[in-house]
Structure 1
Amino acid sequence: MSKRGGGRGKGERPDAMATLQAANEELRAKLTDIQIELQHEKNKVSRLEREKSQELKAEHHRATVALTELKTKLHEEKQKELAVTRETLLRQHEMELMRVIKIKDGEIQRLNGLVLTLRDASTDKVRSALLAEAEEARRGWEVERCRLQQEVLELRKSKRSLEDALTSSQQAGQARAAELRSAHHHHQEELNRTKRDCEKEVRRLMDEIKLKDRAVSVLDKALGLQAGHAHRLQLQTQAAEQQIAVLRDAQRAGTNHTPNSTPNTTPHIVSPASSWPCCMTSSNT
């Protein structure tokens, strides 16, 4: 009976050890795969965080540069328009001064000629010359006054048109500034939305990492339990082999000393076959 139990224990031990080793190897392989996948996920999260941060910084920098360039361009256009207007007004003023100077020079020359005529001519000739000169001067002054009035009206019209152009340019600048502010606000909203999406994605990935960490810890515990069970099985196997060796030694000793007699008492030996199911049941529970 003991021999049959020992043979059955020897037949079952390699199968059980092979099964446990295969299960341990499979658990180790799963644990390695999960750890590799967890490291990949962590690297992916770090890469996504860096990429999103770089994209946000680049978008903000581009928006700031575009806004600065547009402000600079608008300021330069205003400065150019003001410079052109200033140069036009200065040129008109210089031309007007030159014309007045020429008129005064002609008037001075005419008065000098009149003085010379008065010195040489008689009183009647002087009176007639003065009257003719005064009439001519009056007519010239009327013509000059009409021309000056016309130029004043033209200058007023030019000034009004320049003011209208300046007002329209200011309105266009204000509209452009409003568009830039709206674009900047929209861009800021896009940046905030992208940031929120990134934070949601990071939180989701962190939750997945936590779940995988828990799974890894569970597998670690299972692997520890399997290792403890394998160790207990190894100890039981060693104990069973020792009992079988003792039993064989006892049988050999009984055969050599008393071949025709049977012993009245036999040592209480626990066979591995009887202890094996109990250990398996406890380990499974």
Structure 2
Amino acid sequence: MKYQCEGCDRLVKVETYVLEDHALAVACPACGAWTRAAPSLSKPASPKPVPGRTEEPGARGGDTAAVAAPTPEPVLAPVVEPVLAPALELPVVPQRPSVTALRVVRPDAPAEAPLALDADLFQAPPGHCPKCVAPIRDDAGSCSACGLVYANFIPDEHQPSEAMAREWRGLLETWHDWDAHDRLLSQGMMRGEMAMVGRLYRMRLARAPNDAQALRGRDEVVRRVTMATTLASDGPSPALGRKVKTAVMGVVLVVSLVMLLVLVQMMRGSF
């Protein structure tokens, strides 16, 4: 235990102390000064009175004693029940089940009617590129699909041949017969006019976008051209290669025999 000496203001340990008149006196081991602690002058706290109890004389050896006093019972206020107004009955609205409208598709529905044979049969409709039949954008001087400058378009350069024009007019009369479409595609493939056939189908779709026959014909053009390009890129077939090889070997054999005969004749002439 340490304390601060009043003589030297040092913090020293308590070594020598005495009790004088209920007061503690401590001697400083450094300077020898005595420091006295004054007794506490605070009084003990008196007990707080307990509610409901009174002191009577003679209790605890004194003049008063604690007597329990009766606690008055609390007065309960009458409970008033609120009067509720009758609730209004709201009409119950029945919930309608969700109904999804179904579209009836009839397999025997008539297809698009064929186009009329008019003077613009081989020209793109207004609002489309005259070459590739792509939609024309506003304020555009050239086609974004094929790059054609509209001012430089020459209609005579994009007309089908007479045979193709005749076959296309005949196809329009039997438009719903797919065999007729297949014959036209085969003829166009043999004559190398598949680009023109595809252009004719695109012009048909520009006038009738929901035409199933035109959609099928356009897709068939793409399929056949792609197949022909793939076969051409793969090179000749094995059968054709064998035929070419046999022909080359025959030519080499004939040339060798001719040279051998010439050599024999020259040797005979020298002897």
TM > 0.5 = no
Higher relative contact order (CA 8 A, sep 6+): 1
Larger radius of gyration: 2
Structure with more of its chain in strand, by fraction? 2
Range class of TM-score, shorter chain: under 0.3
Structure-2-length-normalised TM-score: 0.24
